Amino acid sequence: MSIFARLLALLAATVIAAQPVAAQSVLRDAETEHFLNDIAEPLVEAAGLEPGNVDIVLLHDPSINAFVAGGQAVYIHSGLIDAADTAEEVQGVIAHELGHITGGHILRYGEGAAAASKISLLSMLAGVGAVLAGAGDAAMGIMMAGQQAALGKFLAFTRTQESSADAAGAQYLSDAGISGRGSLAFFGKLLNQEYRYARNQDDDATFSRTHPLSGDRIASLRLAYEADPAWDAAANAEHQRRFERIKAKLSGYLAKPSETLRDYPESDQTIPALYARAYAYHKNARVDRALDAADALLVADPQDPYFLELKGQVLLESGRPDEALDPLRRATALTNAEPLIAAMFGHALIATEDKVHFEEAESVLRAAVGRDRRNPFAWYQLGVVHAARGDMPRARLASAEQQVMNGQYALAIRSAGFAEAALPTGSPDWLRAQDIGFQARALLEQQCEAQNGGRECQSAR
């Protein structure tokens, strides 16, 4: 192992050890996030909210749930995507959740309490990249997810709030010209599930526990939907096509490979099936089969950035970073440097351990964090590349960015202090180091106060 590889492994181990295991993690994937934002957009507009201000966040949790928390964020469990059969079913859930946001049904929690929680974010699969992962687009809300998600299990809306969210959701679907069929199908499915599991009180939180469901609710929804002009509107075929890909991909990521291969057998040569199997094989370390599936996808569409991303990811995580460069470089270019994809490309450039690639790695990673600051994984990579080039002040600045996002405030204060002392006074990076120092001190103080039941913490200053 080269010194460089050892350094990388050591840094990785430090970060992993510092992150407590969270029951739920935010699941980040560029394609999934773009899909969820696209199907939510017309509903967010119909709700009179700013599309850029509402985050749709996917949580890794097999139970069927969705909830709103922390202002304007809708959290969707991976189990809900798995239980849904159409994009319209997911849109029905999002419309209902937006109804809770506009109805003001969300409690606001103290920022201090939120700051005290952390979240571990998955990239997807085994390997350094998967464990370090990245935080997100999801603006401020995302860092609160760990705690809010736990709260989502206990907070149940009242029947009045449910009716009001149903009515608002129906209106948003109508305004967006989306049929209520999907919503009705999904709630009907949940009601059946509720009957089936009614005796199992220990069952994990489900949508119907946080959103009390009843036959009455469904009956009045049906009345509203059937009377709506959008009832007979055709489903959006493009959304459905993308939904089936996402669902297959998540199955490949999350389910046991044996289950994925049962649900998507070799005889199935459709795009979703190839997608699911590529991840299942990759998880099983059957690299050749994973690459065969990725190549078959690329035959179907050589310009699909997510197929290129998949191929690059399999190669990178199988220890073949040199071969990963071409597909990841193309995926980055095709998506105009989508931050999660660009961060993976930066990772691959660094993983080659070839100094020739470090300058490109730096520019790619800088672009990625420029568009999506809340990506601790990209900051980590940037720190590695600065360190490898001997630029310790900027390496420490990048560490400070990453540490503050991971909730390691004391470490962040030290890293930012080092950077501030070593960088040219008044330069943009020097100012940034100062800002992070202030931010980390404030967050540390809030965290301490939250732990002390609201009493002030002089010691944290």
Half-sphere exposure of residue 383, counting CA atoms within 13 Å on the CB side? 22
User: Looking at beta carbons only, is 216 or 354 nearer to Zn ion?
Assistant: 216
Q: Which residues of 170-205 are buried (b: 16+ CB within 10 A; e: fewer)?
A: bbbbbbbebbbbbbbbbbebbbebbeeeeeeeeeeb
Tell the smallest beta-carbon distance from residue 63 to Zn ion (Å). Answer: 15
Q: Which of residues 81-120 bind Zn ion (CB under 5 A)?
A: none
User: Looking at beta carbons only, is 101 or 368 nearer to Zn ion?
Assistant: 101
Q: Which of residues 195-234 bind Zn ion (CB under 5 A)?
A: 211
Q: How far apart are CA 431 and CA 424, in angstroms?
A: 10
- Among 26, 76, 139, 165, indicate the residue that binds Zn ion (CB under 5 A): 165
Tell the smallest beta-carbon distance from residue 117 to Zn ion (Å). Answer: 23
Tell the smallest beta-carbon distance from residue 96 to Zn ion (Å). Answer: 5
User: Looking at beta carbons only, is 157 or 377 nearer to Zn ion?
Assistant: 157
- 47 is an interface residue for Zn ion by CB under 5 A: no
How far out from the chain centre does Cα 124 lie? 10
User: Looking at beta carbons only, is 155 or 298 nearer to Zn ion?
Assistant: 155
User: Looking at beta carbons only, is 211 or 311 nearer to Zn ion?
Assistant: 211
Q: Which of residues 375-404 bind Zn ion (CB under 5 A)?
A: none
Whether 340 and 358 have beta carbons less than 8 Å apart is answered as no
With CB under 5 A as the contact rule, which of the stretches 129-137, 165-173, 246-254, 444-452 interacts with Zn ion? 165-173
Tell the smallest beta-carbon distance from residue 105 to Zn ion (Å). Answer: 8
- By CB under 5 A, how many residues form the interface with Zn ion? 4
Tell the smallest beta-carbon distance from residue 70 to Zn ion (Å). Answer: 16
Instruction: Please give the radius of gyration of the chain, using alpha carbons only, rounded to the nearest integer.
Output: 23
Tell the smallest beta-carbon distance from residue 98 to Zn ion (Å). Answer: 10
Q: Tokens 């199955």 correspond to what residue? A: 251
Q: Which residue is nearest to Zn ion (CB)?
A: 211
User: Looking at beta carbons only, is 35 or 157 nearer to Zn ion?
Assistant: 157
Tell the smallest beta-carbon distance from residue 167 to Zn ion (Å). Answer: 11
With CB under 5 A as the contact rule, which of the stretches 21-29, 118-126, 163-171, 261-269 interacts with Zn ion? 163-171
Q: How far apart are CA 408 and CA 19, in angstroms?
A: 9
Task: Tell me which amino acid residue 91 is.
Answer: Q
Whether 309 and 298 have beta carbons less than 8 Å apart is answered as no
Q: Beta strands 73-77 and 66-69: pairing type?
A: antiparallel
Which residues contact residue 421 at a Cβ distance below 8 angstroms, ignoring those fewer than 6 apart?
none
Tell the smallest beta-carbon distance from residue 156 to Zn ion (Å). Answer: 9
User: Looking at beta carbons only, is 30 or 165 nearer to Zn ion?
Assistant: 165
Tell the smallest beta-carbon distance from residue 143 to Zn ion (Å). Answer: 24
Tell the smallest beta-carbon distance from residue 113 to Zn ion (Å). Answer: 23
Q: How far apart are CA 152 and CA 204, in angstroms?
A: 11
Whether 6 and 60 have beta carbons less than 8 Å apart is answered as no
User: Looking at beta carbons only, is 161 or 403 nearer to Zn ion?
Assistant: 161
User: Looking at beta carbons only, is 211 or 394 nearer to Zn ion?
Assistant: 211
Q: Beta strands 25-26 and 55-60: pairing type?
A: antiparallel
**319 burial level (CB within 10 Å; 0-12, 13-18, 19+):** exposed
First to last CA, the chain: 42
**2 burial level (CB within 10 Å; 0-12, 13-18, 19+):** exposed
Tell the smallest beta-carbon distance from residue 206 to Zn ion (Å). Answer: 12
| Phi-psi group of 25: left, alpha or beta (phi > 0 → left; psi -120 to 50 → alpha; rest → beta) | beta
Q: How far apart are CA 99 and CA 172, in angstroms?
A: 8
Q: Which of residues 141-160 bind Zn ion (CB under 5 A)?
A: 157
Positions in the binding site for Zn ion (CB under 5 A):
157, 162, 165, 211
